[in-house]
Amino acid sequence: MRNLFFASGLALTAMTGSAFAQEACSKYVVERGDSLREIALRAFGSTDFRLIYNANKDAIGKDPNIIRLGMTLEIPCRDTSAGQTSAATTEAEKMAREMSAGLIAEAEARAIAAITEAQKASAEAVAAANAQAAVAIEAARAEGAALIRKAAQPGTSAVDERQILLITGGNYAPFTDEDLPNRGLYTKLVETAFLRAAPEQAYKIQFVNDWNSHLDLLMPTLAFDGTFPWSRPNCEEAEALSENDRARCETYNFSNPFYEVVDTYFAKNGSGYEVAMSHADFAGATFCRPEGWSLTHMDAVGLYEPAITLVRPIDPDACFDAVANGTVDIVAIEAHLAVEAISRLGYQDEIIENPNLAAIKGLNVMTHVNNPDGEAVLEILNRGLEIMQQSGEWRDIVSTALRHQMDNS
């Protein structure tokens, strides 16, 4: 696993180096501090990295959030049909972003120099230098975020005087759980987005582990302003969606995705489903997909009843038990969650992934269409996400959480 690159807060590549001038229709060698989001932003002016991931899927593997230092990526030509365009920015915003990147790079350079010098002394000196570096880089990011906020929307104030209430649930490692560091990777990303885009805005994140209650009761009654993390169906092609996904499109507004996961299929070794090359090969099979999880990626490829039989337990573990005892054929689930569950349940040699039919899915914050402050909440979160992506802070939060997950799996 040493070959996998997990970004560091001292990466020194947020907006600097040769990668800054990355172009489409070219090859690119991954440098320290890179992520697919940042490479896509430099090549296409958008953090939508799916073009790059799809062109390099075999080399990258099933997790687009992890790329290896030194690997060569094919950067496809710009797909104008997909609507990828650079975000319009004012000269003031561009200058603020450049100044922000400079502040962070200078803080990182000073930190690296201090840590390198401390290594000549003692372990205690290194620990102290690391602690001072974390404080200095945090201060630089806060100052840079303030510059960007003022340039983009001078005079912007909080949504109102009240506290914004968000809801999430547990048992969804590494994203959300009260027992995880920072209550999960996704929770940390949302909290940091508020901090960077609207530090004056009061908010609270509450955990309710009955995920279905979020959409069935708590959000429709406007008891909460937002819920996360949920996937956004392909609302632009509503006729191809299930009734539940069409209702989600009509009832909720969505933030930009804070994270992407790979949805894929797991089946019993030797069943034939684990080597299927086409979704048509799944016709007639019995699928297990946990209750409350979107069926968008299945609906889009014709995997809906009566072409298949669908079982929907509350607990994802029940799906793997059902495959093991032969009551269902296939589990449709996120790859990272499946790997952890299969290992924990002892099905490593019995249940395996189909590597041929995976799909990327974004995880978003949702607000109800009837919430008068919903769009303002999403605007804050999207602005904070953009600041984190530009500064490299998004990458640091993700890498820290993934490292913890690997160390404790």
Question: Are 255 and 368 members of one domain?
Answer: yes
* 218 secondary structure, DSSP code: I
Give CA 126 to chain center in angstroms: 32
Question: Are 143 and 109 members of one domain?
Answer: yes
pLDDT tens across 58-67, in order? Answer: 888 767 777 8
Question: Are 229 and 169 members of one domain?
Answer: yes
Q: Which helix (H) or strand (E) holds 206?
A: strand 203-207
| Residue 257 pLDDT level (bands cut at 50, 70, 90) | very high
What pTM was estimated for this model as a whole? 0.76
Number of alpha carbons in the 13 Å side-chain half-sphere of residue 230: 31
- Specify the higher pLDDT residue, 153 or 243: 243
* Residue 158, in any domain of the structure: no
**pLDDT(322) > 90:** yes
Question: Are 345 and 208 members of one domain?
Answer: no
Question: Are 357 and 374 members of one domain?
Answer: no
Among the candidates 54, 82, 110, a domain finishes at 82
**pLDDT(6) > 80:** no
What is the torsion angle, in degrees rounded to the nearest 10, for the CA atoms of residue 342, residue 407, residue 196 and residue 211?
30
Pairing, β 226-230 against β 164-168: parallel
- C-beta of residue 311 within 8 angstroms of C-beta of residue 286: yes
Q: What's the chain's average pLDDT?
A: 84
Pairing, β 351-368 against β 226-230: antiparallel
d(CA 406, CA 409): 5
Question: Are 342 and 368 members of one domain?
Answer: no
Q: First and final CA of the chain: distance in angstroms?
A: 13
Which are the contacts of 400, defined by CB distance < 8 A and separation ≥ 6? 6, 181
CATH number of the structural domain spanning residue 59:
3.10.350.10
CATH number of the structural domain spanning residue 343:
3.40.190.10
Question: Are 243 and 171 members of one domain?
Answer: yes
Among the candidates 126, 152, 178, a domain finishes at 152
* Residue 159, in any domain of the structure: no
Longest dimension (CA), the chain: 69
User: Reduced to 3 states, what is the DSSP secondary structure of residue 353?
Assistant: strand
- Specify the higher pLDDT residue, 84 or 402: 402
pLDDT at residue 204, as a whole number? 96
Which are the contacts of 378, defined by CB distance < 8 A and separation ≥ 6? 226, 253, 254, 255, 365, 367
Question: Are 292 and 217 members of one domain?
Answer: no
Least confident of 4-8, 18-22, 269-273, 382-386: 4-8
Question: Are 368 and 245 members of one domain?
Answer: yes
What is the residue type of 288?
C
d(CA 111, CA 133): 5
Which residue's entry shows tokens 């790997």? Answer: 339
> In 3D, which of 35, 52, 57 has the Cα closest to residue 357?
57
* Residue 41, in any domain of the structure: yes
* Residue 327, in any domain of the structure: yes
Question: Are 370 and 355 members of one domain?
Answer: no
Which are the contacts of 153, defined by CB distance < 8 A and separation ≥ 6? 383
Which are the contacts of 64, defined by CB distance < 8 A and separation ≥ 6? 36, 49, 53, 260, 262, 360
Q: How many domains does the chain have?
A: 4
d(CA 39, CA 339): 27
User: Reduced to 3 states, what is the DSSP secondary structure of residue 300?
Assistant: coil
d(CA 331, CA 329): 7
- Specify the higher pLDDT residue, 8 or 181: 181
Question: Are 179 and 226 members of one domain?
Answer: yes
Pairing, β 203-207 against β 226-230: unpaired
The residue range of the domain holding 312 is 260-362
Least confident of 13-22, 210-219, 339-348: 13-22
Instruction: Residue 206: count other Cβ atoms within 10 Å of its Cβ.
Output: 12
Question: Are 37 and 109 members of one domain?
Answer: no
* Residue 378, in any domain of the structure: yes
**pLDDT(9) > 90:** no
* 172 secondary structure, DSSP code: B
